[in-house]
């Protein structure tokens, strides 16, 4: 068992919904799996929490992003496992237990939308709907050999989602091919015109950010081989460019180094965001989680789950913390976006590229959490990013992430089509 899914809708409900779909819909009868923190009508959105499972009532309606897919003909199968409250990259929760990697069951699947990614990779659904605050769609998509998008922040409605960080949360999509991701994003964002654009090829200059490359030589070679050979093989005119050393690149490198040391915005926002969305207190949820959790996870893992929640519980922010929060949400994003834009102009780039993750997924027996500065880049500036399954290393898929300026998802899908057709 991979423990990818935590709850499946009643079969009669699924069949009834499928029979009622418009046969002309773009997603007619396409099976969809949804992360456990996104509302599905008639189901409890528990965000992986066994405590929330009993504290919350079933959703009265689909979240808007899901409802739009359903209106286009999709059939929702149920909820997928995730990291508890999306606080991690292992897909380990008191509600669903530990999800296993689709390609190596001894390894973590990435997270926090790991259950969604594994369900799609195993063929249980065609499209996966997840959330991405700091990498939670892109990392598990990479580890599962899928395409996965984090859209422009605010581009897809986040109502009906159990929040982690309102300034960074996005609803994203994953699938085995770029066209299904493009279609899902276009429908959920209200931009169906972009579906046709996604099928066109165009010459593009994609700058590889050197400070984000793997330090492990084997992974580095796998990334280099995938990017150079894929662009040449397809003859699409999409070129991965080695960036020249200049002042613009130096400034981006400096800011990336700062980014890797910054505190997560969820520290400042999660507790209050959760209270506003659900009426529940994080401290109370943490207090009643440990016992029931041990029915589904080892006690050491449950202790980690509870400890992670408790670290997000705090009182009134001190002056220094208020200043840090302002830096994270206002000052730094503006500086970083300006630096990235300047680098694009200086070296005539259409997009940036880098490994989605710089390491192989850790083995579950290690108990190690995985972090990487790469996945924090797009959220920090609100730009859309798409991971493409272009590389493999030690028989495991490794994603190449492409990032473009705000609102240019169509360009992402053009690049994906040129490299993966």
Q: Which helix (H) or strand (E) segment is 399 a member of?
A: strand 396-403
> Over the chain, what is the mean pLDDT?
92
Query: pLDDT tens digits, residue range 215-236?
Result: 888 899 999 988 877 655 555 5
pLDDT at 369 over 80: no
pLDDT at 118 over 70: yes
pLDDT at 198 over 60: no
Domains identified in the chain and CATH numbers:
5-420 (3.90.1300.10)
Q: Which helix (H) or strand (E) segment is 251 a member of?
A: helix 247-259
**Catalytically active residues, by annotation:** 35, 112, 136
Q: 194 and 407 in contact (C-beta within 8 Å)?
A: no
Region 245-263 average pLDDT: 95
Q: Which helix (H) or strand (E) segment is 71 a member of?
A: helix 64-71
How much is the pTM?
A: 0.95
CA–CA distance, 3 with 37 (Å, rounded to integer): 16
CA 51: distance to chain centroid?
A: 24
pLDDT at 298 over 70: yes
The DSSP 8-state label assigned to residue 38 in this structure reads: B
237 vs 164, residue with greater confidence = 164
The DSSP 8-state label assigned to residue 45 in this structure reads: -
Sequence length of the chain is 421
Query: pLDDT tens digits, residue range 46-87?
Result: 999 999 999 999 999 999 999 999 999 999 999 999 999 999
| pLDDT score at 7 | 97
CA–CA distance, 182 with 411 (Å, rounded to integer): 11
| pLDDT score at 371 | 78
Could you give the dihedral angle defined by the CA atoms of residues 351, 131, 116 and 198, in that order, rounded to the nearest 10 degrees?
A: -40
CA–CA distance, 219 with 224 (Å, rounded to integer): 9
| pLDDT score at 193 | 60
pLDDT at 199 over 80: no
Q: 369 and 88 in contact (C-beta within 8 Å)?
A: yes
Query: pLDDT tens digits, residue range 1-43?
Result: 899 999 999 888 888 878 887 788 999 999 999 999 999 999 9
First to last CA, the chain: 33
């Amino acid at each position: 068992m991979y423990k990818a899914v935590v709850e499946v809708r009643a079969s009669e409900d699924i069949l009834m919904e499928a029979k009622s779909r418009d046969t002309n819909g773009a997603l007619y009868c396409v099976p969809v799996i949804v992360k456990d923190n996104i509302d599905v009508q008639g189901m409890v959105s528990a965000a992986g929490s066994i405590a929330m499972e009993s504290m919350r009532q079933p959703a009265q309606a689909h979240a808007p992003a899901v409802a739009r897919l359903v209106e286009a003909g999709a059939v929702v199968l149920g909820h997928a496992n995730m990291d508890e409250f999306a606080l991690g990259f292992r897909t380990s929760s008191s509600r669903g237990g530990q999800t296993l990697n689709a390609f190596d069951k001894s390894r973590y699947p990435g997270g926090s939308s790991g259950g969604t990614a594994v369900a799609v990779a195993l063929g249980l659904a065609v499209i996966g709907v997840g959330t991405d605050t700091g990498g939670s769609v892109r990392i598990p998509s990479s580890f599962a050999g899928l395409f996965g998008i984090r859209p422009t922040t605010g581009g897809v409605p986040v109502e009906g989602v159990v929040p982690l960080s309102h300034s960074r949360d996005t609803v994203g999509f994953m699938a085995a091919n770029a066209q299904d991701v493009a279609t899902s994003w276009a429908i959920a964002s209200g931009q169906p015109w972009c579906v046709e654009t996604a099928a066109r090829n165009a010459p593009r200059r994609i700058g590889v950010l050197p400070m984000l490359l793997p330090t492990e030589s084997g992974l580095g070679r796998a990334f280099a081989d995938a990017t150079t050979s894929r662009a040449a093989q397809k003859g699409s005119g999409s070129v991965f460019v080695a960036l020249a050393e200049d002042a613009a690149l130096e400034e981006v490198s400096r800011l990336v180094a700062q980014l890797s040391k910054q505190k997560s915005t969820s520290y400042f926002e999660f507790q209050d965001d959760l209270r506003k969305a659900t009426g529940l207190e994080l401290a109370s949820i943490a207090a009643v989680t440990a016992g029931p959790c041990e029915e589904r996870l080892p006690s050491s893992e449950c202790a980690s789950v509870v400890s992670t929640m408790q670290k997000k519980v705090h009182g009134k922010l001190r002056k220094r913390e208020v200043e840090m929060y302002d830096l994270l949400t206002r000052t730094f994003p503006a500086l970083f976006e300006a630096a990235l834009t300047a680098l694009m102009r200086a070296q005539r780039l259409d997009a940036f590229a880098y490994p989605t993750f710089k390491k192989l997924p850790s083995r579950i027996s290690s108990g190690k959490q995985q972090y990487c500065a790469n996945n924090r880049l797009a959220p920090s500036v609100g730009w859309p990013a798409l991971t493409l399954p272009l590389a493999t290393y030690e028989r495991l898929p490794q994603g190449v992430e492409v990032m473009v300026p705000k609102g240019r998802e169509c360009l992402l899908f053009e690049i994906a089509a040129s490299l993966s057709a």
